Structures are given as C-alpha cells and as structure tokens.
C-alpha cells in the first residue's frame, strides 16, 4: 500500500436531472485521477455506469470511455447529457404535447384543470403548484399556489380540493392497471412488485402520467423532439411520485418509503420545469453504441447490459484503466427505473432490468456478490498492473467491505485507499495482480494483524475517529495478506475480527449509544509524543501559507492531502477552521493575517512573557523560564509551582496537554485571541483532548497585558481576574 492522496471533488454547478438518486459530489475526481495515471489514447472502462457525470467528464477529457450500463434510465441520462436536447426542441415538444387534444380540450388545459384550487384572497381558480398530504391518515391537508393577484404560499386544503382528489381516486383502478400493464403482463410474476412500486403514486399522478404516455404512443414527432419530450416526461415521472417530503427532510430517497408529510406536485408544472433541467450546458460528447467506436477526440461507447455480458467481448479493446463510481444499493431508484422504463419505452425495453423489481431489500452480501459478478471476468482482460480506481459515494463500513471483497476475489491488489469523512466519497485504487488468488485455498483472517492495523491507524491519527476509519484500517490489513476471500457469510466474517478488536481493552468508544457506528472510537492511552492530525494540519497549513503568500484553496488541499494521505486525509471542515484562524481570503486566494506573520507573533510572545514577568515581580513570586520544546513560564513561591504558563502562538496543544507535569488546575495556555476559536474547534472535535484539557485555563495574550497595567494588583485579585470574563474554559469556548 502506498499513501494514496485524496483527490478533492469540484462543487457541482448544476447537479442535473434525477441527481437525488445519483452519486454525490464526485465531479472532477475521475479526471484528476486519469491525468496522473493514464494516457488519453487508452480506453477507460466503467463497468457500472452508475454516474453519468463521471463518464461524461472523462470523455470530455479526450478518453474513449466504454460504459456497461444495465439500467435503461441511467443509459438515457448518459445519452441525453452527452448530447443534451436543445432548448428549442424541448419547448417545441412541450408545445406540441400541450396542444394535443383530450376530448375537446387542449391536453394542457385538461391536465392543469386537475390541480385547480380557489385563491383565498381573490377567489379566482388557480392551478396549485402542489398539494400536501399526510401519509398516516391519507388526508389532503394543504396546497401551495401562486395567484396572479399576488397571493401565494401554503394554505390549508379546502373541501373542494378534497372532493376533486376523491373524484380522481374513484376512477383510479382503470388508469393504474394501464400503468401496470406498461411494465408487466397480467401473468407476469413481477406484477405484484410493480403494483407495490406504483403505490408511491397518487391517483391524480397516475392519471396524468398515463394520459401523457398514451399520447406519446400516438404522437408523431421528429426524433430530436421525441427525445426531448421523453426527457421531460422522465423527470416528470420522478416529480410526480410521493417521495417528496415536505418540508424537505430527506432529499436522497434510497427506499420506496413515502414520507409522513409529502408533496403531490403538479405534473404539468414538472414538465415545464424540466426544460431548465435538461437543456444545454457543457461541451457535446460523442456517444455511440457498442461495438461502434468513438472518434479520436474521445467519447462514450455504451454497452447495453451488465458488465458480465460485456467482459467476453473485450479481447480486442486495448483497455488501459478502469475508473468507476461504485453503485450503492438503491431500491428506490432501481425499482422506479424499471417502472419508468416500462412507461417510457414499453415492456420489452424494461424487461432486462426488471430483475430490480424482485428484490425489495438489498443487503450488502447481495451487493458484494453483484460487484464480484461484474469484476470477476475483467482482470484477465487488463494488462498487468492496470489500475482499477473506484469512487465510493457515501461510504459506510459494509460498503467498503463489499467493494474490497469483490475486488480482491476478482484478482485486484489493493494499492491505495483514501477516506475523508463519511460525507465525502472514499477513493480506492487497485492494480491487476500478477496472479489470481482465487485458485488458492482461502487463508483464515489474521485477527491479530487486523487489531494491530486498527491500533496503529488510531495512533497515527492521534485523535478519536468514526468506526469507518478503523474498519477501513482492518480491511486494508486483510487485503494486504490476501485473506479477503469469498466464503459463505463473508461480510460477517470480515466484520468479526474488527468488532472483536474494538471490544478489547485498548479501545474506548466515545458515544451516547452502544451502536458502534455512532460516535467516535479512541485509545485508552494516547502516545503523548505523537502530534494529532488536527495539530499536524495546522502546522502544514501555516508552513504552506508562509511559503505561498497567496494560495488557492485547491493547491492547499492537494498539498495537505499529499502530506496526510490515505486514512489521514483531513476534512474540509478542519482545513477551514485553521484558515479561519490564520488567514484572510482575497479573490479566492488565502494569505496569512498580518498579525500572524512569524515576526509579529514573536513580538507578541515576548510582550506576553514581559507582562508575566512584570506581574510576577509585583506579586512577589519568582520566575523560571523554559524556551523549548515550548515557551513555558513557571511562577514559583518557596520552591512550589504556583502557575505554569504555556505561551503559544498556535493552537497546537496536544503534546503540551498530554506531557504537562504540573497539576492541570495550576496550568494555563496563553495564546493570541485569534486562536481561541480554533482551539475551541479542536476541543469540540476530540472528546479525548477535551477530557485532558478539563481543568486547564485558557487565557488570551491581551489579558496579561491588561493585568500588568493594574499597579495595585494582589495575588487574590490576580486569581479573581483569571476567573473573570477574560478566561474561557473549554466548555464555554465551545460556544464560539
């Protein structure tokens, strides 16, 4: 294992259609990886095709990207983002749909009339933007509208609103069975699952969608407009479901669970809003269907099916690199995809993906098996040492186990794993191994090696961490000795030594719950000579800013991640806390505050030391100084230490707190006022540090300045002043 430096992602400008089901915050990672590890004339393979944006960005960089994509909805997203429908086509397609007839009405008028409600102010009929329902009692409780009279907002539903909803429910079964039939025939064993999935659509939504879809069948449109209209209807299918909590509390549904209070959105408005979602943005990318080949400038080559079906055809493709975003189990998206595919493209198109309907719950053993099925025939097709790079969104212990197990069993050697927080995608690098371990008899897991790896990961980090980091450390140890092997109940067997280690006497769980996944895990005994990660981050950033007077955040992030790679990768929150304490931003560039230049800070330290010495004389105590390893001033009286003052210009206090030989209630940290917030952040973050700091007092430079100017001060007065407003105990400092 080398230290893999975490690659920062770019903030997505516009997350694009159906983003709430797609992997989070992965923009820019794949291209930064390719820039370091590959040549543009290589093919890149994405065996899962779960993240259209990632495939697109690699193709834009000039790579030919071969994508196995089994989900017809993701496939459509890939094609439609590579070559987005024009705004003109989107508008024209929607206008044609609007003008279609339903009886003797325009379709738009007809569908909008389903959402009519009365304005509370001017009593005109307006179309609601959405209705609000309560799941438990099935009551239509509220409505949201914008009226021309200027009145808008959320109001209780009226009896008329409820009556309209009820009249639509009366004819519901007819439309619902049509919606079913688009996906499964009456004798299809999957029909019951489709029916369940349809449960997250209210009658008005089913009626509206099926009316639109019936029109699509009989409509003659140019191919471009048809594609544009399909795109609009696809996003409307999502907007029309009941999976929209109100107010928003769960923006990323993974299960088909209707929220307690949810929105029933106006489907026609959803179509109109779709014009913005889908149109334009970014450079066009050539997208062809396998086995056609994109041109020299790179592009997407889409294989319609799972990776296991593509693998046998790969003999003649010079694959250099595998880059992918690993899919998470997502029952909601997969089930809805099967449903929407049937609606938009018919039963035959939905058929290959219909297996998504069989499973109501996806467990991680299933997930590991699915990843393995995709990867197992792949390593033979790759040159020796070819990289397999995976971005793992929303990582959690079982997800990492599943990924590492599947790759190890498929003949890939783990060479790097970088983890930031559980909110950032993990990044894992493997290389195709020289020989397959699959033929060898599995060796048992070395529980002692796992425990040692977890301990040393914590020691190196120097602060408590979530279980995710320790789990990763344990997994890395198993990957290194090739004991990650396919066996019955493999994930439980992988977990066992990790949990056993955590139950051992060296580890301590800082949490209010017994659930190991909650809270932080630390050591009972920390090594007092190791700098904690936050302290190292502070040192690295200050040094970097001293050498680079106007630094871009991204350069700083990359330097930090290279110096603190793998499981040490610091969070953006920590980076920002250090910057907030030391630096100012001008046009996106960071520089040290003038008062934080080394010479100014030296002068501050001297002044604080001088003030302490003036005070000591006045109070009749003797002084002892120590300059290294840190500046320490002891006040002594008759050979006894009255106070130990540690003078610092930083918030790097871990070693001082842990190595201090004096009673903590007599010990003080003396630092610049600008550092107090950062110290508070560190204490808030680390329960172990907090408990060491409990009886310490933290005083700002300027307090001693002030006290040294009080000529009549007595010892009692001094002690009182220290206990007054100028001193913040760690507990109070948390309020910063």
Q: With H, G, I as helix, E, B as strand and everything else as coil, classify residue 487.
A: coil
- Residues 187, 191, 195: CA angle, nearest 5 degrees: 145
**Nearer of residues 118 and 595 to Zn ion, judged by Cβ:** 118
Query: In this structure, what token pair is assigned to residue 567?
Result: 């499981």
144 sits near Zn ion (criterion: CB under 5 A): no
Q: Does 524 bind Zn ion (CB under 5 A)?
A: no
- Taking the least distance from each CB to Zn ion, the nearer of 151 and 684 is 151
Tell me how far apart the alpha carbons of residues 356 and 607 are, in angstroms, rounded to a whole number: 70
CA dihedral 410, 413, 417, 422 (to 10 degrees): 20
Q: Which of 284, 228, 321 is nearest to 56 (CA)?
A: 284
Q: Give the shortest CB-124-to-Zn ion separation in angstroms.
A: 5
> Which CB sits closer to Zn ion, 161 or 409?
161
Distance CA 391, CA 424 (A): 10
Identity of the residue, 147 or 733, whose beta carbon is nearer to Zn ion in the bound complex? 147
Q: Near Zn ion by CB under 5 A, which window of 119-127, 188-196, 415-423, 447-455?
A: 119-127
Site for Zn ion in 287-346 (CB under 5 A): none
The minimum distance between CB 144 and Zn ion, in angstroms, equals 14
Q: Is 720 in the site for Zn ion (CB under 5 A)?
A: no
Q: Which residues pair with 143 in a beta bridge?
A: 131, 155
Candidates 35-43, 112-120, 456-464, 711-719: pick the segment binding Zn ion (CB under 5 A). 112-120
The nearest distance, CB 735 to Zn ion, in angstroms, is 46
CB neighbours (10 Å) of residue 394?
Answer: 16
> In whole angstroms, what separates CA 553 from the centre of its chain?
19
Q: Can you tell me which of 99, 122, 552, 695 binds Zn ion, judged by CB under 5 A?
A: 122
Q: Which letter does DSSP use for residue 420 in this model?
A: -
Asked whether the CA dihedral 52, 53, 55, 60 is positive or negative, the reply is positive
What's the min distance (Å) between Cβ of 332 and Zn ion? 37
Choice between 158 and 705, CB closer to Zn ion: 158
Task: Please list every residue from 655 through 674 that binds Zn ion, using CB under 5 A.
Answer: none
CB 115 to Zn ion: min, Å: 15
Write the DSSP symbol of residue 245: B
Q: Does 637 bind Zn ion (CB under 5 A)?
A: no
* Smallest separation, CB 553 to Zn ion (Å): 48
CB-wise, 128 or 341, nearer to Zn ion? 128
Phi first, then psi, for residue 475 (nearest 5°) are -65, -40
Output 122 or 552, the one with its CB closest to Zn ion: 122
Contact 367, 332 (CB under 8 A): no
Distance CA 47, CA 307 (A): 5
Of 62 and 153, the one with the shorter C-beta distance to Zn ion is 153
Nearer to Zn ion, 118 or 224 (CB): 118
Q: Is 434 exposed, middle or buried (0-12, 13-18, 19+ CB in 10 A)?
A: exposed
147 contacts Zn ion (rule: CB under 5 A): yes
Which is nearer to Zn ion, 151 or 480 (by Cβ)? Answer: 151
- Beta strands 299-304; 64-69: pairing state: parallel
Radius of gyration of the chain (CA): 31
Phi-psi label, residue 163: left if phi above 0, alpha if psi -120 to 50, beta otherwise: alpha
Among residues 88, 95, 101, 121, which is the contact residue for Zn ion, using CB under 5 A?
Answer: 121
* Exposure string over 502-521, b if 16+ CB within 10 A, otherwise e: beeeebbbebeeeebeebbb
Nearer to Zn ion, 122 or 499 (CB): 122
Q: Which stretch binds Zn ion (CB under 5 A): 120-128, 207-215, 543-551, 588-596?
A: 120-128
Nearest to 470 by CA among 483, 479, 484, 457: 457
Residue among 149, 499, 603, 695 that touches Zn ion (CB under 5 A): 149
Nearer to Zn ion, 121 or 554 (CB): 121
Smaller CB separation from Zn ion, 117 or 331 = 117
What one-character-per-residue DSSP string does 613-668 give? HHHHHHHT-EEEEE-SSSEEEEEEETTEEEEEEEE-SSS--HHHHHH--S-GGGEE
Residues 587-616, one symbol each (x = binds Zn ion by CB under 5 A, - = not), give ------------------------------
For residue 320, report the phi and psi dihedrals to the nearest 5 degrees.
-105, -40
User: What distance in Å separates the CA atoms of residue 633 and residue 16, rounded to the nearest whole number?
Assistant: 59
How many helices (H) and strands (E) are present in the chain, helices listed first? Answer: 29, 26
Whole-number minimum distance, CB 237 to Zn ion, in Å?
31
**Closest distance of CB 160 from Zn ion, Å:** 15
**118 belongs to the binding site for Zn ion (CB under 5 A):** no
Nearer residue to Zn ion within complex by CB, 147 or 407: 147
Kindly identify the residues of this chain, within the stretch 499-518, that bind Zn ion according to CB under 5 A: none
Q: How far is the CB of 266 from Zn ion (least distance, A)?
A: 17
Q: Per-residue x/- mask for Zn ion, residues 171 to 210, rule CB under 5 A?
A: ----------------------------------------
H-assigned helices in 376-418? 397-409
CB 117 within 8 A of CB 160: yes
Site residue total, Zn ion (CB under 5 A): 6
Instruction: Determine the interface stretch with Zn ion among 143-151, 268-276, 432-440, 452-460 (rule: CB under 5 A).
Output: 143-151
Stretch of 18-26, 111-119, 632-640, 682-690 lying at the interface with Zn ion (CB under 5 A):
111-119
Distance (Å, rounded) from C-alpha 151 to C-alpha 116? 15
> At which residue do the structure tokens 């007065």 appear?
717
Closest CB 204 distance from Zn ion, rounded Å: 22
Taking residues 65 to 84 in sequence order and writing x for each that binds Zn ion by CB under 5 A, - otherwise, the string is: --------------------
To the nearest whole angstrom, how small is the minimum distance from the Cβ of residue 150 to Zn ion? 7
683 binds Zn ion (CB under 5 A): no
Give the shortest CB-119-to-Zn ion separation in angstroms. Answer: 3
Binding residue (CB under 5 A) for Zn ion from 68, 119, 479, 605:
119
Min dist. Cβ of residue 264 to Zn ion (A)? 21
Shortest reach from residue 156's CB to Zn ion, in Å: 16
Closer residue to Zn ion (CB): 161 or 538: 161
Complete DSSP assignment for 432-470: E-SS-STTSPPPPP-HHHHHHHHHHHHHHHTS-B-HHHH
Near Zn ion by CB under 5 A: residue from 151, 309, 517, 531:
151
Compare residues 117 and 493 and give the one whose CB is closer to Zn ion: 117
Residues that bind Zn ion (CB under 5 A): 119, 121-122, 147, 149, 151
């Amino acid at each position: 294992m080398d230290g893999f430096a975490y690659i920062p992602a770019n903030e997505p400008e516009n997350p694009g259609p159906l983003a709430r089901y797609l992997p989070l915050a992965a923009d820019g990672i794949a291209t930064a990886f390719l820039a370091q590890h590959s040549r543009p004339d290589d093919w890149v393979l994405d065996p899962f095709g779960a993240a259209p944006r990632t495939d697109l960005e690699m193709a834009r960089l000039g790579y030919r990207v071969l994508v196995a994509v089994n989900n017809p909805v993701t496939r459509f997203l890939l094609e439609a983002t590579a070559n987005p429908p024009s705004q003109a086509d989107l508008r024209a397609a929607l206008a044609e749909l609007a003008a279609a007839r339903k009886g003797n009405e325009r379709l738009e008028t007809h569908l909008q009339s389903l959402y009519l409600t009365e304005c509370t102010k001017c009593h005109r009929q307006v179309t609601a933007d959405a209705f609000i329902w309560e799941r438990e009692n099935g009551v239509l409780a509220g409505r949201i509208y914008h009226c021309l009279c200027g009145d808008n907002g959320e109001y209780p539903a009226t009896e008329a609103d409820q009556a309209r909803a009820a009249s639509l429910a009366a004819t519901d079964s007819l439309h619902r069975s049509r919606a079913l039939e688009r996906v499964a025939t009456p004798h299809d064993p999957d029909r019951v699952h489709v029916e369940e999935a349809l449960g997250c659509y209210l009658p008005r939504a089913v009626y509206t969608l099926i009316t639109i879809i019936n029109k699509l069948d009989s409509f003659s449109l140019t191919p471009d407009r048809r594609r544009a209209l399909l795109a609009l209807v696809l996003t409307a299918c999502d907007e029309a479901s009941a999976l929209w909590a109100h107010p928003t509390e769960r923006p990323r549904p993974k299960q088909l669970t209707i929220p307690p209070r949810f929105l029933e959105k106006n489907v026609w408005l959803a179509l109109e809003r779709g014009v913005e979602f889908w149109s334009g943005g970014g450079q066009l990318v050539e997208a062809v269907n396998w086995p056609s080949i994109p041109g020299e400038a790179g592009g997407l080559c889409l294989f319609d099916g799972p990776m296991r079906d593509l693998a046998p055809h790969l003999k003649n493709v010079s694959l250099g690199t595998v880059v992918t975003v690993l899919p998470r189990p997502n029952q909601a998206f997969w089930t809805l995809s099967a449903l929407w595919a049937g609606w938009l493209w018919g039963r035959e198109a939905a058929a290959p993906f219909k297996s998504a309907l069989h499973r109501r719950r996806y467990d991680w053993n299933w997930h590991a098996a699915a990843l393995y099925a995709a990867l197992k025939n792949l390593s033979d097709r790759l040159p020796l040492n070819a990289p397999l790079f995976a971005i793992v969104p929303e990582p959690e212990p079982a997800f990492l186990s599943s990924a590492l197990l599947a790759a190890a069993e498929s003949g890939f050697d783990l060479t790097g794993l970088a983890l930031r927080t559980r909110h950032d995608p993990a990044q894992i690098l493997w290389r195709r191994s020289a020989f397959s371990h699959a033929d060898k008899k599995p060796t048992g897991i070395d529980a002692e090696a796992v425990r040692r790896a977890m301990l040393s990961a914590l020691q190196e980090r120097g602060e408590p961490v979530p279980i995710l980091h320790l789990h990763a450390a344990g997994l890395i140890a198993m990957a290194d000795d090739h004991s990650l092997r396919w066996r019955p109940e493999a994930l439980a067997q992988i977990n066992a030594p990790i949990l056993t280690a955590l139950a051992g006497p060296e580890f301590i769980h800082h949490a209010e719950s017994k659930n190991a996944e909650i809270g932080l895990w630390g050591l009972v005994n920390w090594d007092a000579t190791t700098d904690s990660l936050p302290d190292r981050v502070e040192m690295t950033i200050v040094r970097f800013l001293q050498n680079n007077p106007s630094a871009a955040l991204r350069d700083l992030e990359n330097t930090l991640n290279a110096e603190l790679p793998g499981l040490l990768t610091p969070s953006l929150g920590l980076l920002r806390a250090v910057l907030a304490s030391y630096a100012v931003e001008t046009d996106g560039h960071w520089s040290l505050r003038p008062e934080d230049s080394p010479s100014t800070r030296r002068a501050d330290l001297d002044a604080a030391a001088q003030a302490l010495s003036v005070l000591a004389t006045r109070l009749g105590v003797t002084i002892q100084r120590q300059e290294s390893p840190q500046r320490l001033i002891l006040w002594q009286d008759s050979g006894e230490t009255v106070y130990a003052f540690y003078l610092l210009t930083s918030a790097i206090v871990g070693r001082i707190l842990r190595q201090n030989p004096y009673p903590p209630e007599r010990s003080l940290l003396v630092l610049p006022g600008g550092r107090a917030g950062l110290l508070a952040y560190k204490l808030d973050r680390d329960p172990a540090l907090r408990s060491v700091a409990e009886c310490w007092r933290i005083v700002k430079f300027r307090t001693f300045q002030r006290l040294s100017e009080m000529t009549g001060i007595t010892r009692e007065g001094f002690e009182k002043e220290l206990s007054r407003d100028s001193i913040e105990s760690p507990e109070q400092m948390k309020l910063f």
